[in-house]
Amino acid sequence: MSGGAVSRPVGSPVSLLSRALVWIIAGSCLGTPALASSDPANFCDQVAAEAARRSGVPISVLKAISLTETGRKHGGAVRPWPWTVNMEGKGFWFETEDEARAYVYKEYKRGARSFDIGCFQINYKWHGTAFRSIDEMFDPLANALYAAKFLKSLHAEQGDWGRAAGAYHSRTPKFATRYQARFERFRTTLLSQDGDTIPEIPDIVRVANGDGPDTAGPAVVAEARVNTYPLLQAGGNGALGSLVPLGPGGGASLFGPRAAPTEVN
């Protein structure tokens, strides 16, 4: 959002119980393919589909935004990456959620407040009050649902998905135009998906895990977190604005054009 939004301090880390949430896949009973995946490169597309189903924002728009924000070469193709962080203008692709979260908490303790998180690169300084914690901002579905809500408001303002995408990035025309051009290139390849029926992702239920996910070995933790995220609850009624707000004087983007994120291995 533009203007002097108030950022709140990070809350306590989510409980082991809430981090042990798992998807209950009912698709096998209904003949619908399950959407769970162990490959993080699929997470952003999965949540984009669910956010499109709930919000009415075209799936091509959400997928193109995610690619424009976090696109990374993976398996011979450019794919969105959920563990992307842009910290005060410098982007990083982390291999795991734990690494990305640890980096953000470290920088937060240092005093950083302007950073973007996740599939849709939601900015903490300007939009953090819409979430209960930084952990929730890392939740791919919460990230996607907020992005869809914001894009819908921008579309109502701009009257066009391309211009809405540009405003999502920046209110500065030269940065918005550059971003819009890249977004449109991605969206052109995805337009055929807009007419497809989008299957519903099953509700999440709480499951107590006696050991807690943090006590498992790395391979177990990685698998357990495939779909361990709470849904974004109603609320977070703060005013909406650009994910990259106007800089001093109303002209400059907060970050300006971004370089590609750095691989963190």
Cβ contact 72:93 at 8 Å:
yes
Q: Where do the structural domains in the chain lie, given as residue ranges?
A: 38-201
**Is the model more confident about 231 or about 186?**
186
**Is the model more confident about 54 or about 204?**
54
Please write the tens of the pLDDT for every residue from 173-218. Answer: 999 999 999 999 999 999 988 765 444 433 322 222 233 333 222 2
Query: The pTM is what?
Result: 0.66
Closest CA to 191 of 153, 154, 161: 161
Q: What's the token pair of residue 143?
A: 């990230």
Residue 246 pLDDT: 26
**Is the model more confident about 134 or about 257?**
134
Tell me which of 20-29, 50-59, 176-185 is least confident: 20-29
Please write the tens of the pLDDT for every residue from 103-158. Answer: 999 999 999 999 999 999 999 999 999 999 999 999 999 999 999 999 999 999 99
DSSP string over 85-112: EEETTEEEEESSHHHHHHHHHHHHHHT-
Residue 2 pLDDT: 30
